[in-house]
Amino acid sequence: MAEIETKSLPENAYQPLQPGESYQPIVPATSKQAELTLRSIFWGILFCVLFSVASAYSGLKVGQGMEAAIPISILAIGLARMYKRRTSLLENVIITGIGSASGSVAAGAIFTIPALYILHLDPHPVQTIFICLAGGCLGVLFLIPLRRYFVREMHGQFPFPEATAITEVFVTGERGGSPAKLLLQATAIAGVYDFFVTTFHVWREYLDFQFVPVMRSLADRSRMVFNFDAVSFILGLGYVMGLRTALVFCAGGIFSNFVLVPLIWFIGSHMNIGVYPAVLPISKMTALEIYRNYVRFIGVGAIATAGIIGIFKSLRVVAGSFGIALHAFRHGEAANTERTDRDIPVIALLLGVVLGAIAVAIFFGRLQVSWTVLAIGLVLTLLFSFFFTSVAANAIAVTANNPASGMTMLTVIISSVVLLSFGLSGTTGMFFVMAIAGMVCTALCVSGQFITDLKAGYWLGSTPSAQEKVKFLGVIAAAVAAGLTIIMLAHTFQFGEAAPGDPRPVLASPQASIMKALVVGFMSHQPVAYLLFGIGAMITVVLEMLGKSSLVFALGIYLPLGLTSPMLVGGCMSHFLNKRSEKLGGEQGSRIRERGVIIASGLVAGGALGGVLGASLRLFPWYREDLITTPFFLNDPVSQSVSVLLFLSLCFYVWFYSVKKEKV
């Protein structure tokens, strides 16, 4: 088998295609390269199991899972040199694709399943694993028809920040030389930076500038608070995302924090009674509490509506994908038989959905509910899984942020309301609703990660059907590993809060605790905040009428401003560096663009590695954040000022090494 010479990505890799233009990946469709091998499958499954266990434990302990795809892609490059026949580029894609299922399946599991243990409903081990497995498989099955729309048809329209970082890691690692050194340098700097700022008391990660009198006055009088998460990972994401998307994203955060929160405070600042869904009076709330109790639900409504609109926008391409598959089924060959555009057969896809639906129905049937409730539960599971698959893919493609918590909350709320109307309540109702939410949450987490794998594979020249097949292996391995980890931890720890008389230590399980509170509230016949969801929906409708990107803005409303503001800094740097490259033109201009993307990808990769290492340390009983403490950490003016200077130093590093001339 001839080796494929690895080169730079084509110039149109990140740009919309002109009429008649096509994208040619690094490994052309006509070329053959080792892909589905015993080596790639073995290492992929091994990494998947290891990261599933670590991510499940980390997420339950500190509410922070482990980003798996980027670390595994770097590990895959390192493994490539261990063998006499160097592992191929496409084998590395398979390793990363299988391994990356770990973080997504574990995320779906820790959001919901621990809530069953908090409620003392103690699911059987088979039930725990099945919820993860069914949700993960549904996420893969429902994403496959959307692949052509997000990956091919919308080429250059979505930034795909995480997929860009993974692709650049693969390409630059294969090329070696100066670009590889630059990538490793940026990765090391970001890894060290994010590790210390997120793990120990060295300088502030979250900036609010409350030591400035005018900022303190705005917070006290109007509940206007500016937040900034000063880490390299988000700076790199913003750079890859670009200025236009980062502006819209940050605009949602500004609207949330400087319009909605102050407006709610202005209206309720004189009230001494709680206004549903909150219990605490608005007059006694901080800006963060107003956001969590009211604005977040507006964001959920906006995201859900944007997702519905997105599904309608993609229907044409989805129908076309099924048309191609049906043509192959009827005539024995596809209308387009290119290796790089070949999905698993439509008959296998449909059979998978049918078998999945039957398995879910059997699972619900064993909960001793009526046939009507069983049918409604099955419909809700399939409907939400397909619907949120599109939402997750769209969100990841644009911002690399999956709104899993918001969509899971929406699933819990709607499922509770619907099932209550059919007489299902009590402990059986809580278990039933959380099972639906667990499957849906895992489906949307897996589909969001899977679209990243498929886009990276598209840029590099992987076979989609091969990626799709092995993803099921990753889901199976991750479901078993994450499920067994949760079961083991449930016997050793308490989830949520400490129960009187129970000596076991506590794992905070923050996301599951929120879901538990929701399902208990709704199964206790509390009212639903339809107005807040409706306001969010109308915001999305208005944006669509204006022709704007509603999902990105909706995500900005839902996510904390601290995440969106540093993305804007990265987007601005990308804009000005690209302007400089256009002004210079030629080879020098292309080099600036390339080096900028390589450095930004290194920041994302290094930030992810630093976060994984920091999260790993939190698993040990001897770990404390104050193990390393600087003398000025508790002094807010000094600590936040140091953080600003260090973040600006990161920005200077990105700029300087992007425009730096290479020595001849």
Decide if pLDDT at 324 tops 60.
no
Written as one letter, the residue type at 324 is I
How many angstroms separate the Cα of 430 from the Cα of each of 108, 112, 113, 477, 523? 17, 11, 12, 28, 7
For 155, the token pair is 């080429």
Decide if pLDDT at 436 tops 50.
yes
Residues 264-280, mean pLDDT to the nearest whole number: 86
Query: How much is the pLDDT for 490?
Result: 80
pLDDT confidence of 7, banded at 50, 70, 90? low
Beta carbons of 602 and 658 less than 8 angstroms apart:
no
Between 169 and 586, residue with greater pLDDT: 169
Query: How much is the pLDDT for 596?
Result: 85
Decide if pLDDT at 331 tops 50.
no
Of 59-68, 127-136, 380-389, 404-413, minimum mean pLDDT range: 59-68
pLDDT digit string, tens, across residues 393-419: 888 887 777 777 778 888 888 888 888
The torsion of the CA quartet 192, 197, 203, 205, rounded to 10 degrees, works out to 140
Between 334 and 177, residue with greater pLDDT: 177
Query: How much is the pLDDT for 591?
Result: 79
Decide if pLDDT at 527 tops 70.
no
pLDDT confidence of 1, banded at 50, 70, 90? very low
Between 234 and 541, residue with greater pLDDT: 541
Q: Tell me 629's DSSP state.
A: B
d(CA 380, CA 390) in angstroms, rounded, equals: 16
Written as one letter, the residue type at 16 is P
Of 219-223, 334-338, 380-384, minimum mean pLDDT range: 334-338
Mean per-residue pLDDT of the chain: 83
Between 332 and 566, residue with greater pLDDT: 566
pLDDT digit string, tens, across residues 444-488: 899 988 999 999 999 998 999 999 999 999 999 999 998 988 888
Beta carbons of 523 and 515 less than 8 angstroms apart:
no
- pLDDT above 90 covers a percentage of the chain that reads 24
Q: What is the DSSP string of 478-510?
A: HHHHHHHHHHHHHHHSEESSPPTT--S-EE--H
Residues 49-66, mean pLDDT to the nearest whole number: 72
d(CA 103, CA 48) in angstroms, rounded, equals: 8
Nearest to 95, CA basis, from 454, 459, 470? 470
pLDDT digit string, tens, across residues 18-27: 887 788 888 8
For 345, the token pair is 């057969």
Written as one letter, the residue type at 639 is S
- Tell me the residue ranges of DSSP E strands in 53-153: none
Beta carbons of 460 and 23 less than 8 angstroms apart:
no
pLDDT digit string, tens, across residues 337-393: 688 888 888 888 889 999 999 999 999 988 888 889 899 999 999 989 988 888 888
Positive or negative, the Cα torsion across 572, 574, 579, 584?
positive
CA 374 remoteness from chain centre: 31
Query: How much is the pLDDT for 526?
Result: 62
pLDDT confidence of 573, banded at 50, 70, 90? very high
Residues 560-579, mean pLDDT to the nearest whole number: 89
Nearest to 552, CA basis, from 242, 257, 294? 242
Beta carbons of 561 and 324 less than 8 angstroms apart:
no
First to last CA, the chain: 35
pLDDT digit string, tens, across residues 605-658: 788 777 767 767 776 788 888 888 889 888 989 999 999 999 999 999 999 988
d(CA 50, CA 481) in angstroms, rounded, equals: 8
For 131, the token pair is 């919820």
Of 170-184, 263-277, 496-510, minimum mean pLDDT range: 496-510
Query: How much is the pLDDT for 178?
Result: 67
Q: List residues bridging with 495 in a β-sheet.
A: 507
Query: How much is the pLDDT for 305?
Result: 83
For 444, the token pair is 């949307």
Decide if pLDDT at 180 tops 70.
no
Predicted TM-score (pTM) of the model is 0.76
Query: How much is the pLDDT for 322?
Result: 54
Query: How long, in residues, is the chain?
Result: 664
Between 324 and 137, residue with greater pLDDT: 137
pLDDT confidence of 512, banded at 50, 70, 90? confident
Positive or negative, the Cα torsion across 204, 210, 215, 218?
positive
Query: How much is the pLDDT for 135?
Result: 93
